[in-house]
């Protein structure tokens, strides 16, 4: 009877998830209390919700643990023997199942740390690297200071709820962006399965486990790290690439014991990929403004775009709907030289400035030299006068 009840509840939950996904495709309403979406192509935040609120972040802490270990270890193939101390105090946390005496490499433990979010891997790495959790936490805090993060602090490598272990969605995005520049971290973050040969164990990414359990298609997500505690709620850090746009997303504080963090992530990615994209707003060689030229055979100078310019905008915006407003010099003269700034071209969508193009004089312009011409004219007149006087005397 218990099994039937569990199956029925699972079916009800799947129906709810399906309806929730369908409803939210065209309206971006999320359950997560904190979120930030980053366009990696443009290095720009494109969506945020309470992104600078300081909160508990559960196992997203392990992102900091991983990059700290990687950047402070010369040889990731170094072997570690698991000790009793490394497995102490981990009741209630996800574990890879290491046993005292197991011999593993740093690299294998990093996969266990990031894929199934193994607390035993986190603690083993911290103790072997620094001798104690406290000393390793100091190393973590030193690392985030190097990254330039200011509203985060860590006192354990696992993500245990603590007054001294916290961050923000904004800080986590900054940390993850930095970490993904490391090829080893990036490879682990994007991996779904890994086999630890020394203990004959295969570890799987929590995202895959959850997606399979609730029959959710999460293939839109390419790289991921999950997190959960009762204080932090359901958390997810992820990346994807859709239509050549690279996205990075942090969601925090979704309802406990749900898949709302996963649903939120899928909805956000689908919403932005469906409704936003790159639109050409300037084409190379496009005429932007014609300026008069004073005292020159060249009567006009054309300001043209030097490059093709594309912006990430709502798909319902077209180039034909945009307006272009020039502000700057209206007439060129001899005092304006090649390379001098002429002004700016503001590109507006419904009176909102979406781009500013700086216009410069791109060529040398030859001007009439009136003082020289006047001097030559006067000299010729004087010569003629002198000649006439000489002729008259004769």
Q: Kindly report, residue by residue over 102-155, the tens digit of the pLDDT.
A: 999 999 999 999 999 999 999 999 999 999 999 999 999 999 999 999 999 999
Q: Are residues 225 and 80 in the same domain?
A: yes
What are residue 60's phi and psi, to 5 degrees? -65, -15
Does residue 287 share a domain with residue 271? Answer: no
42 pLDDT more than 90: yes
Confidence category of residue 345, pLDDT binned at 50, 70, 90: very high
Lowest mean pLDDT: which of 42-56, 260-274, 371-385? Answer: 371-385
Both 258 and 308 in one domain: the answer is no
Same domain, 319 and 225: no
Query: Could you tell me if 32 and 180 lie in one domain?
Result: yes
CA–CA gap between residue 35 and residue 182 (Å, rounded): 24
pLDDT value at 262 more than 90? yes
Check: CB of residue 291 under 8 Å from CB of residue 342: yes
263 plus 346 within the same structural domain: no
> Could you give the CA distance from residue 392 to residue 381 in angstroms, rounded to a whole number?
16
Residues sharing a CB contact under 8 Å with residue 375, sequence separation 6 or more, in sequence order: none
Same domain membership, residue 220 and residue 74: yes
Strand 331-332 relative to strand 287-293: parallel, antiparallel, unpaired?
parallel
For residue 314, what is the domain's CATH number?
A: 2.60.410.10
- pLDDT bracket for residue 210 (50, 70, 90): very high
Distances in Å between the alpha carbon of 364 and those of 167, 292, 368? 55, 15, 13
DSSP 8-class letter at 255? P
- Which two structure tokens, joined as six digits, stand for 50? 């309470």
pLDDT tens digit sequence for 11-20: 444 434 434 4
State both tokens at 292.
């008069």
Q: What is the pLDDT of residue 204?
A: 97
The residue from 215, 249, 275 where one domain ends is 275
* 171 and 259 both lie in a single domain: yes
Model confidence pLDDT, tens digit, residues 114-123? 999 999 999 9
Residue 374 has pLDDT above 70, yes or no: no
SS3 breakdown of the chain: % helix, strand, coil, rounded to 5? 40, 30, 35
- Distance in angstroms between the alpha carbons of the first and the last residue of the chain: 140
Domain limits for position 219: 2-275
Tokens linked to 124: 């083993």
Rounded to an integer, what distance in angstroms lies between the CA atom of residue 146 and that of residue 124?
Answer: 24
| End residue of a domain, out of 229, 248, 275 | 275
- Same-domain check for residues 177 and 68: yes
User: Do both 142 and 288 map to the same domain?
Assistant: no
For every residue of 27-71, which 3-state class applies, written as one string?
CCCCCCCEEEEEECCCCEEEEEECCCCCECCHHHHHHHHHHHHHH
CA distances from 81 to 85, 124, 256, 302 (A): 11, 9, 35, 72
Residues 108 and 194 in one domain: yes
The predicted structure's pLDDT at residue 375: 63
Beta pairing partners, 326: 345
Of 247, 275, 303, the one marking the end of a domain is 275
271 DSSP assignment: H
Q: Which tokens in the block code for residue 196?
A: 């630890």
* CATH code, 162: 3.40.710.10
Q: What is the pTM of this model?
A: 0.84
Domain count, the chain: 2
- Tell whether 328 and 245 lie within a shared domain: no
């Amino acid at each position: 009877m218990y099994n039937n009840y569990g199956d029925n509840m699972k079916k009800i939950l799947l129906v709810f998830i399906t309806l929730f996904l369908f409803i939210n495709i065209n309206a971006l309403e999320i359950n997560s209390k904190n979120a930030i979406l980053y366009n990696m192509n443009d290095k720009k935040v494109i969506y945020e919700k309470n992104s600078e609120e300081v909160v508990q972040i559960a196992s997203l802490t392990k992102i900091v643990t991983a990059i700290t270990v990687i950047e402070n270890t010369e040889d990731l193939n170094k072997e570690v023997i698991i000790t009793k101390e490394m497995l102490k105090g981990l009741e209630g946390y996800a574990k890879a199942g290491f046993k005292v005496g197991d011999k593993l490499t740093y690299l294998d433990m990093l996969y266990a740390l990031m894929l199934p979010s193994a607390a035993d891997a986190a603690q083993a790495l911290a103790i072997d690297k620094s001798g104690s959790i406290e000393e390793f936490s100091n190393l973590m805090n030193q690392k985030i200071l190097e990254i330039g993060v200011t509203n985060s602090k860590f006192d354990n490598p696992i993500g245990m709820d603590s007054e001294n272990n916290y961050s923000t969605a904004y800080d986590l995005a900054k940390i993850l962006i930095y970490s993904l520049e490391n090829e080893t971290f990036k490879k682990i973050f994007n991996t779904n399965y890994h086999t630890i040969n020394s203990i004959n164990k295969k570890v799987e990414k929590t995202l895959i486990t959850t997606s399979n359990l609730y029959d959710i298609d999460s293939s839109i997500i390419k790289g991921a790290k999950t997190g959960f505690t009762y204080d932090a709620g359901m958390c997810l850090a992820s990346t994807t690439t859709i239509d050549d746009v690279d996205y990075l997303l942090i969601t925090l504080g979704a309802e406990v014991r749900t898949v709302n963090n996963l649903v939120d992530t899928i909805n956000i990615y689908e919403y932005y990929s469906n409704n936003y994209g790159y639109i050409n707003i300037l084409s190379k060689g496009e005429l932007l403004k014609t300026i008069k030229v004073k005292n020159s055979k060249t009567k006009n100078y054309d300001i043209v775009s030097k490059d093709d310019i594309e912006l990430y905008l709502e798909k319902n915006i077209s180039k034909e709907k945009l307006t272009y407003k020039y502000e700057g010099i209206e007439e060129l003269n001899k005092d304006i030289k090649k390379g001098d700034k002429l002004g700016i071209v503001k590109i507006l969508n419904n009176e909102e400035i979406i781009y500013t193009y700086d216009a410069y004089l791109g060529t040398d312009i030859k001007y009439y030299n009136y003082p020289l011409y006047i001097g030559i004219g006067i000299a010729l007149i004087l010569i003629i006068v002198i000649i006439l006087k000489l002729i008259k005397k004769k």
